[in-house]
């Protein structure tokens, strides 16, 4: 049995380009956390978690299938770009339909045909644009300073780990809590961010 988990990205990418679907699946699983990291700020800003993960995964698969090592870019860097552009393209498509929620049965797979779209041309979506949030380069210290005004210490810890891409179970293990308490904390964080309008208080570049 082939040990795909023990192979580095270069080997897996070569196998995937030769049509090895198991190698492609192994590489996709390896970078699923990156998909979560890219999609989670959008979820906190009001997106649907499952649809965002799905769109981000489409971006990751596109990166695996189109990556060219001759370009000199690390695969992780290229994959992150493709994931973020896919997410932004999905949001752009949703906004064309008068801000239809991402989970209202619209096929974003069909709508998002241009994952390389120029994000500078994106229309204004809502007052606190999710695309601005995902592109923000604020430091963790600045974010925590803003969040501390309305979040408890426990919620800030959860938020830190959540934005690092950890699963509820991983966060629960890290903080010695059960997964349900982590889920409840994330939902409280979403409500507090919306109620306190905190996203508007963060200087987005």
Identify the domain boundary among 79, 111, 129: 129
Residue 199 and residue 197: Cα distance in Å, rounded? 6
| pLDDT-derived band at 119, boundaries 50, 70, 90 | very low
Residues 144 and 91 in one domain: no
Task: Indicate if the pLDDT at residue 17 is higher than 50.
Answer: yes
Instruction: Quote the pLDDT of residue 107.
Output: 33
Q: Are residues 41 and 120 in the same domain?
A: yes
Does any domain span residue 22?
Answer: no
Any domain includes 18:
no
pLDDT at 97: 52
For the record, the structure tokens of 23 come out as: 């190698």
Same domain assignment for residues 147 and 196? yes
- Point out the domain boundary residue: 96, 129, 162: 129
Range of the domain at 113: 31-129
**116 plus 141 within the same structural domain:** no
Phi-psi region of 114 (alpha: psi -120 to 50; beta: other; left: phi over 0): beta
Q: Is the pLDDT of residue 198 over 60?
A: no
Residue showing tokens 């192994």: 26
- What's residue 143's pLDDT? 55
CB-based contact 115:62 (threshold 8 Å): yes
Q: Of 63, 94, 129, which residue sits at a domain end?
A: 129
pLDDT tens digit string along 144-187?
566 777 889 899 899 889 888 898 999 999 999 999 999 999 99
Q: What is the CATH number of the domain that holds 143?
A: 1.10.10
Q: Are 189 and 44 in contact (CB under 8 A)?
A: yes
Note whether 120 and 140 are same-domain residues: no
């Amino acid at each position: 049995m082939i040990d795909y988990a023990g192979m580095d990205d270069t080997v897996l990418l070569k196998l995937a380009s030769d049509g090895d679907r198991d190698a492609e699946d192994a590489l996709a699983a390896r970078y699923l956390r990156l998909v979560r990291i890219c999609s989670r700020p959008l979820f906190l800003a009001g997106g649907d978690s499952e649809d965002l993960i799905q769109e981000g995964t489409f971006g990751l698969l596109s990166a695996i299938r189109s990556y060219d090592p001759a370009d000199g870019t690390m695969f992780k860097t290229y994959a992150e770009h493709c994931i973020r552009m896919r997410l932004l393209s999905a949001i752009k498509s949703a906004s064309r339909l008068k801000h239809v929620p991402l989970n209202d049965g619209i096929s974003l797979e069909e709508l998002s045909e241009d994952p390389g779209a120029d994000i500078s041309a994106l229309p204004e979506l809502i007052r606190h644009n999710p695309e601005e949030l995902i592109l923000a380069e604020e430091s963790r210290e600045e974010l925590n300073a803003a969040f501390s005004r309305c979040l408890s210490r426990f919620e800030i810890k959860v938020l830190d780990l959540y934005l690092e891409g950890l699963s509820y179970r991983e966060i629960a293990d890290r903080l010695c809590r059960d997964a349900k308490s982590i889920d409840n904390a994330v939902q409280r964080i979403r409500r507090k961010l919306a109620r306190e309008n905190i996203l508007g208080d963060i200087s987005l570049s």
